[in-house]
């Protein structure tokens, strides 16, 4: 190879330089002649070197051995960079670098793009060790020849460019030939295969969860212009894709993933669930035609779905104006709560816009829970759904409905609160036994992300928690004062609800054995 050929020549020159220095030790005139001759030869060389340098240390006596540790630097005594000067004012060779030169005859310096070829300058001497005379080699210094790597590889790159140019030329001619022949014979089948493969890949990506489930990803472009069996086949494939595009919007991502397995199955999973319900939708749709109602509903549900998908969730199903979504993964609770905040913000913008237009406004209630569920196929043999079943799902749905009773917006369970309390401002709302369950659960309202929270949210939370603590101790006066202040200053819905409870309990004390649990009678 080129590098091997240059290396052999460079090592030979380095050894020659070391030998000449050793022979002409103490004779700078001879060394100047040698260096000037090297400069002239280098100008005509096929692979010119950057410099030839001789580093020496004649003051310190050092003999070569396996355990040799160099302690002093080596001065630059001669160099083709200054061929007529002894000890030119150029950098020395450090002891650390010199130790590397003893171990390797060739070193590549990536910073300078230089390949260094090194040869030690050794002088045989007879040394008396005790009563014995031993012949050893004294290290006088090093001869170093440096080449630019780009200079060495220049012929290789020229050859490579030539090969690439010829290859591209032949490839260009081959493409022209293929085009001329394939345009009449192969292209119809090739385009057909490419389109089918593209649709198959997109569908497979959706099934495996690598791409968003969307009918817009299934696009069949019919490039077949012939009028034969291939055209008929292309039309049939186009019809099949049209059917698939019509079905895809009605299938959740989890159901689509299950379709790849081809079997009925279920598993125990830890998931987070988010339920939403549009408040005031019935009033909004009064006097409208059915198609107008569907159009408005689809607008809101499309808005909600987009936010769920952006936060790594999936929509399980729609029931009227309600939506059930779930989140998976180690940060499922965090993603669900972020989605909830974005849903509230989006619906607030919609409400402001409708108020400006003088139209009826709507709001949204959200319930979030996290825990174990059975995740799998449910239904009849010929009509199945892939969904989640368990108390975790039921409780999330009940919490969404509980927003009506508390005049709140987003209720989460204690399991979710424990995962998101460092990121979101939340307040404990109540200790409630939802309808259909005997065991009470502690619920919280998620107010806002801490980074975006305003000071008034902190005051709302603090006043409410003060009132709630007094409420549970049956200190009705203190509780009423805290709740009243929240209602007066911020028109806080949950505080209004608890203020009515306090007024009731003040007149009708619940008794000493009261556990503070609110038992819901509505879903």
- pLDDT-derived band at 185 (thresholds 50, 70, 90) equals low
pLDDT confidence of residue 523: 53
Task: Measure the CA–CA gap between 270 and 183, rounded to whole angstroms.
Answer: 55
Residue 325 tokens read as 């979504």
Greater model confidence, 183 or 402: 402
Q: Where are the domains of the chain?
A: 2-152, 160-250, 253-453, 454-523
Is residue 335 scored above 80 in pLDDT? yes
Is residue 258 scored above 60 in pLDDT? yes
Q: Pick the closest to residue 200 from 236, 237, 231 (CA basis).
A: 237
- pLDDT-derived band at 192 (thresholds 50, 70, 90) equals confident
Is residue 520 scored above 60 in pLDDT? no
User: 11-25, 96-110, 189-203 — which one is most confidently predicted on average?
Assistant: 11-25
Q: Pick the closest to residue 217 from 176, 165, 253 (CA basis).
A: 253
**pLDDT per position as a tens digit, 52-71:** 999 999 888 888 875 677 88
Greater model confidence, 351 or 40: 40
Is residue 248 scored above 90 in pLDDT? no
Task: Measure the CA–CA gap between 53 and 83, rounded to whole angstroms.
Answer: 10
Is residue 101 scored above 90 in pLDDT? no
Q: How many CA atoms lie within 13 A of 486 on its CB side?
A: 26
User: What crossing angle do the helices spanning 493-507 and 455-472 adopt, rounded to 10°?
Assistant: 20
- pLDDT-derived band at 325 (thresholds 50, 70, 90) equals very high
Mean pLDDT score, 76-82: 91
Characterize 464-491 residue by residue with b for buried, 16 or more Cβ atoms within 10 angstroms of its Cβ, and e for exposed.
Answer: bebbbebbeebebeebbbbbbbbbeeee
How far are the Cα atoms of 111, 457, 511 from residue 468, in angstroms, in the given order?
69, 16, 17
Task: Name the average pLDDT for the chain.
Answer: 85
pLDDT confidence of residue 262: 62
Is residue 44 scored above 80 in pLDDT? yes
pLDDT confidence of residue 354: 79
- What predicted TM-score, i.e. pTM, was given to this entire model? 0.60
Write down the residue that tokens 């595009």 correspond to.
245
Is residue 516 scored above 90 in pLDDT? no
Task: Measure the CA–CA gap between 60 and 91, rounded to whole angstroms.
Answer: 19
Least trusted range by pLDDT, from 66-80, 374-388, 389-403: 374-388
**pLDDT per position as a tens digit, 114-154:** 888 998 998 888 877 777 888 888 889 999 999 887 777 77
Q: Pick the closest to residue 274 from 312, 247, 243, 240 (CA basis).
A: 312
Q: What percent of the chain has pLDDT over 90?
A: 36
**pLDDT per position as a tens digit, 288-324:** 788 888 888 888 889 999 999 999 998 988 888 899 9
For the chain, report the end-to-end CA distance as a whole number of angstroms: 82
Please write down the HEC assignment for all residues of 408-466: CCEEEEHHHHHHHCCCEEEEEEEEEECCCCCCCEEEEEEEEECCCCCHHHHHHHHHHHH
Q: Pick the closest to residue 218 from 208, 210, 209, 206 (CA basis).
A: 206
User: What crossing angle do the helices spanning 455-472 and 476-490 adopt, rounded to 10°?
Assistant: 160
Write down the residue that tokens 């460092």 correspond to.
422
Residue 231: partners with Cβ closer than 8 Å, 6 or more residues away = 188, 224, 225
DSSP state of 359: -
Per CATH, the number for 253-453 is 3.30.70.1230
Q: What percent of the chain has pLDDT over 70?
A: 93
Strand partners, 144: 53, 118
Q: Pick the closest to residue 56 from 13, 11, 101, 12 (CA basis).
A: 101
User: 5-9, 237-241, 490-494 — which one is most confidently predicted on average?
Assistant: 490-494
pLDDT confidence of residue 114: 86
Greater model confidence, 284 or 422: 422
Q: What are phi and psi of 358, to 5 degrees?
A: 70, 30
> Burial level of 496, CB count in 10 A (0-12/13-18/19+)?
middle
Residue 160 tokens read as 């490579």
Characterize 167-185 residue by residue with b for buried, 16 or more Cβ atoms within 10 angstroms of its Cβ, and e for exposed.
Answer: eeeeeeeeeeeeeeeeeee
Q: Pick the closest to residue 186 from 239, 233, 230 (CA basis).
A: 230
Task: Measure the CA–CA gap between 100 and 88, rounded to whole angstroms.
Answer: 23
User: 161-170, 186-195, 431-440 — which one is most confidently predicted on average?
Assistant: 161-170
Characterize 244-274 residue by residue with b for buried, 16 or more Cβ atoms within 10 angstroms of its Cβ, and e for exposed.
Answer: ebeebeebbbbbbbbeeeeeeeeeebebbbb
Residue 175: partners with Cβ closer than 8 Å, 6 or more residues away = none
């Amino acid at each position: 190879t080129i590098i091997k050929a240059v290396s052999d020549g460079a090592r030979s020159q380095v050894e020659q330089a070391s030998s000449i220095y050793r022979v002409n030790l103490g004779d700078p005139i001879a060394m100047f002649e040698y260096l000037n001759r090297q400069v002239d030869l280098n100008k005509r060389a096929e692979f010119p070197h950057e410099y030839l340098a001789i580093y020496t240390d004649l003051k310190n006596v050092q003999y070569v051995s396996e355990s040799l540790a160099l302690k002093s630097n080596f001065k630059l005594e001669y160099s083709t960079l200054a061929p007529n000067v002894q000890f030119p004012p150029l950098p020395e060779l450090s002891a650390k670098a010199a130790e590397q030169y003893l171990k390797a005859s060739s070193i590549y310096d990536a910073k300078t793009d230089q390949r260094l070829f090194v040869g030690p300058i050794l002088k045989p001497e007879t040394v008396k060790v005790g009563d014995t005379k031993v012949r050893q080699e004294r290290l006088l210094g090093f001869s170093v020849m440096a080449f630019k790597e780009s200079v060495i590889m220049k012929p290789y790159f020229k050859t490579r460019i030539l090969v690439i140019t010829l290859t591209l030329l032949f490839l260009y001619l081959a493409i022209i030939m293929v085009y001329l022949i394939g345009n009449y014979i192969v292209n119809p089948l090739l385009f057909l295969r490419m389109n089918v493969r593209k649709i198959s890949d997109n569908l497979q990506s959706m099934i495996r969860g690598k791409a968003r489930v969307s009918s817009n990803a299934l696009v069949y472009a019919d490039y077949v212009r012939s009028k034969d069996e291939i055209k008929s086949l292309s039309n049939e494939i186009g019809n099949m894709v049209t059917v698939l595009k019509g079905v895809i919007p009605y299938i959740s991502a989890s159901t689509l993933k299950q379709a790849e397995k081809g079997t009925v199955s279920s598993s125990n999973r830890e998931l987070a669930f988010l339920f939403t319900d549009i408040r005031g939708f019935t009033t909004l749709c009064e006097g409208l035609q059915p198609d107008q109602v569907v159009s408005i509903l689809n607008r809101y549900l499309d808005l909600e779905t987009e936010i769920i998908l952006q936060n790594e969730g999936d929509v399980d199903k729609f029931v009227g104006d309600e939506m059930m979504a779930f989140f998976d993964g180690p940060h499922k609770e965090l993603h669900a709560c972020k989605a909830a905040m974005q849903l509230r913000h989006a619906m607030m913008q919609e409400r402001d816009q409708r108020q400006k237009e003088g139209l009826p406004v709507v709001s949204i209630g959200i319930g979030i829970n996290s825990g174990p569920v059975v995740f799998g196929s449910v239904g009849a043999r010929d009509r199945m759904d892939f969904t989640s079943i368990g108390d975790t799902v039921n409780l999330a749905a009940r919490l969404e409905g509980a927003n009506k009773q508390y005049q709140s917006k987003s209720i989460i369970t204690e399991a979710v609160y424990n995962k998101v309390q460092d990121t979101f401002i939340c307040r404990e709302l109540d200790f409630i036994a939802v309808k259909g369950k005997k065991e009470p659960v502690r619920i919280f309202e998620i107010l806002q992300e801490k980074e975006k929270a305003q000071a008034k949210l902190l005051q709302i939370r603090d006043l409410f928690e003060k009132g709630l603590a007094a409420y549970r101790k049956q200190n009705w006066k203190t509780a009423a004062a805290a709740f009243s202040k929240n209602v007066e200053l911020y028109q806080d819905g949950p505080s209004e609800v608890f203020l009515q409870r306090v007024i009731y309990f003040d007149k009708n004390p619940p008794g000493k054995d009261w556990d503070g649990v609110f038992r819901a009678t509505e879903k």
